[in-house]
A and B are shown apart, each in its own frame.
Chain A
Amino acid sequence: MVGGEGVTLFGPTVRGIEREAALSWEMPDFGRQLAEALSAGSRDPVLVLFDGADQTYRKEERIPKLSPFDRARYIKRKLDQAFPSYPVRASVLVRPPKESPFYLFVALPETDRLDGIAGDMLEAGVPIAGFGLLPAESVGLVKALADKTFDRTGKPSRWAVLISQHETGGLRQVVVRNGSLALTRITPTSEAGAFGPGWAEEVVREFKATLTYIARFGYTAEEGLDVMVVCSKVEKQFFSDKSLPVTNFRCLTPSEALAAIGARAVSLGETNFGDAVHAAWAGRKGALSVPVVVPSIQRIMVPRKASQVMAAVLALSLAGMGAFIASQYSDYLSVKSDIGGLRSQRDYLNGEYARDAKVFDAFPVKPDVLRKILAVRKTVEASSIDIAPTLNLLRASLASDIQLSDLSFTHDASSVLEGGDNGLFGKKKSEDRGTVKIDFKFDITGGLTLEQKVARADGLVKILQQKFPGYRVDIVHQFGNVSSTGSFSGEAGKAQNAQGPGGAGADEAAFEMTGPPL
């Protein structure tokens, strides 16, 4: 904590927060002592909580609706206008419940003391967590203490004030309205000192002054005002809650205040100073409410934070790579052990293949050759037919009075013998068994007339077509070279010798049948 009179250093321990050092600005070797104190303490990042008098606050309510990028530029311009001579500035958007949001502007001059502290932190080599303003960071502390200290069953007060004397110098009052900072004042330690009845009177006096200030901001007694004063047990007896026109009043020792916010302090004793309470509250926050960028501190903070982040990344990377390498090595061992088994399996299969190949090699021909040979044999056999069924069927189709004089049977199987896979889709022409042609000549005994023979011959065509399905049956030569419907020539007046052998009716008919083998 940095104040008007000096610096107090608090560090975390297992048992709670501990005051490690308190250094006055007036000390001759302040810088060295601060650097030593920082080095000797824990190596946790250092949060600088500024409690000096020269910090300025302003409320900016009229913010137009803008895009995020334009809003940032607008705020920056407003900050420049509000604090033209303050190089250190910050802003935060505050959203009080049931009220319009507003911007809280803060600013402070970059004093040599802050630069000195930055230099001391550089010497000490400690990491820096950030720079914050005590009043802005303690707004939540006031609300938390008020909620814990006072009964909230009735109508809660809208206003709350936390008053504490700080070892770093001054009496700090933080006034909160509806959970947002309304006013803050710091009063230098008077001649009455930092404790005792004189100090209590000073507190009352300064609080009454604060009341007049907040009355200008709209405070009325109806709104309710809770007041908490951090002081030792001894100083408590000097306060009377009836003397102050407030809704609720309570004195809290630093230990009681720490306990109320769930913190503890080590070796606090019966101190009247409330620094530890603010330090404990700020130290437990994950992030500052109003982070302030002080160039000299920022110059040190950023590289150290970056190196911390980089170290964390490298450590994670190392852990990750270690885990990955371990996993890869484990895979290596596993695969290596698999290889032994696979080698055995391969050797076994090689043996099995050798045995099977030996049996196979004993055959006189290879399988593909045998397949082709059998295919050829099948083709050749398909090219041959048994003529007996065909001739028997022909004989059965002919009546007993039909006398054959010539019979010719031809089986053309030249296309069948070419064999092989045929056709675009590998369909075999195995169904093709060639073509059979049967030619026969016959006469009909029994003394039939020519007309009767011709009729019989025509009738025989139909019979043969029925008996030999798929066959084409043609009369090559009809009896008397006539047909019942075709052309015909003859002579009238000569003897009709159509009957009996040797006469004109004794000639033969010739048939031709063509079709697939039966």
Chain B
Amino acid sequence: MIKLIGLKRIVVLVFLVALNLMALGVYLFSVGPMLDGVQSQKDALSGAISGLHGRIAGVKADTAYMQENISKYTALQAEGFFLPENRFTVKDAMEKLRVAAGISNFAYSVGNVKDIPNKDAGAVHYKLIDSAIGVDHIVSPLDANIYLLVQDIDRSFPAFVRLQSMQIHRSRPVDAQSLKAIANGQPVSFVDATLAFEWIAMVPDKPASPAAAGGFRGQ
């Protein structure tokens, strides 16, 4: 076979095969892995940079949102929306209301704190709490005073108060007897009214202290 093909030719062939194998080896064991390595590094860096761009954009967007809306949060904080409905504040608030509405007297009650299921609050581990406020035995000459009380109650209470129901009943006619009693300085009420409110706040979702959560009555 060597003579048939020629020794020189065989040597050349073997040399070419060896060179080819060497070239293949250089690629497979050196250049290829090196290129794969730096390419992996580059891909990792590119991925990290992409991620950072995303995170920076997210942080910037969140920061812009916060800067735009944090004042609303602090306002809610200031008005006591996150406070746990301390019953000891109710007395002062009711007195202020009475005076501002021009009402002589009324009785009020505050019910037990109840939880109101709310998905948004629950999503951030907060809950809505609600205390029912009842106002009755209102001694008021006119129904206009009662409307004033209804309008003012949200401003006077911490957190948030909403009207649930209002019943007004004309209890006595405007007659000579009533007018005489008024002239004598006696408190005369021409209307009876019963008001029901809901006092709502948003507090962290953990047990509140019993003193702040119970119901009570006052005048």
Contacts and interface: CB of A to CB of B under 8 A. Distances in A.
B219 interface: no
B27 A122 contact: no
A377 interface: yes
B69 A304 contact: no
Between A343, A385, A409, the greatest number of chain B beta carbons within 10 A of the residue's beta carbon is seen for A409
Interface string B46-80: 10110011011001101101100110110010000
B117 interface: yes
Given A335-B38, A342-B49, A373-B126, A307 B62 contact: no
Interface stretch (A85-93, A246-254, A416-424): A416-424
Contacts of A357: 59
A122 B4 contact: yes
A380 B159 CA distance: 11
B4 A311 contact: no
B124 A372 contact: yes
Given A318-B16, A356-B63, A360-B66, A345 B126 contact: no
A322 interface: yes
A318 B19 contact: yes
Contact of A421 (B4, B13, B23, B119): B119
B158 to A, nearest CB: 14
Nearest to A439: B167
A27 interface: no
B24 interface: yes
Contacts of A372: 120-121, 123-124, 126
Contact of B116 (A407, A417, A421): A417
A452 to B, nearest CB: 23
Nearest to A353: B56
A373 B66 CA distance: 12
Interface stretch (A52-60, A95-103, A159-167, A323-331): A323-331
B124 A338 contact: no
Interface string A351-390: 0110011011001110111111111110111011111100
A406 interface: yes
A373 B73 contact: yes
Contacts of A287: none
A460 interface: no
Query: Chain B interface: which size bin?
Result: 35 or more
B166 interface: yes
Interface string B11-41: 0110011011001101100011011001101
A307 B5 contact: yes
B151 to A, nearest CB: 7
B8 interface: yes
Contacts of A380: 128, 160, 162, 200
Interface in B115-148: 116-124, 126, 128, 130, 143, 147
A413 interface: yes
Interface string B80-118: 010000000000000000000000000000000000111
Contacts of A371: 65
A424 B147 CA distance: 41
Contacts, number: 209
A123 B19 CA distance: 28
A335 B23 contact: no
Nearest to A386: B151
B51 to A, nearest CB: 9
Nearest to B72: A374
Given A122-B4, A353-B52, A335 B17 contact: no
Contacts of B6: 125, 304, 307
B66 A307 contact: no
Given A311-B16, A335-B38, A417 B128 contact: yes
A328 B35 contact: yes
A339 B41 contact: yes
A385 B81 CA distance: 18
- 4 closest pairs, A vs B, by CB? A420-B119, A314-B16, A384-B162, A342-B45
Interface of B: 1, 3-10, 12-13, 16-17, 19-20, 23-24, 26-27, 31-32, 34-35, 38-39, 41-42, 45-46, 48-49, 52-53, 55-56, 59-60, 62-63, 65-66, 69-70, 72-73, 76, 81, 116-124, 126, 128, 130, 143, 147, 150-151, 154, 160, 162-170, 200, 202
Interface of A: 122, 125, 299-300, 303-304, 307-308, 310-311, 314-315, 317-318, 321-322, 324-325, 328-329, 331-332, 335-336, 338-339, 342-343, 345-346, 349-350, 352-353, 356-357, 359-360, 363-365, 367-377, 379-381, 383-388, 391, 404-413, 417-421
Given A356-B56, A376-B121, A385-B163, 7 more contacts: A125-B7, A325-B23, A335-B42, A353-B56, A373-B202, A409-B166, A419-B119
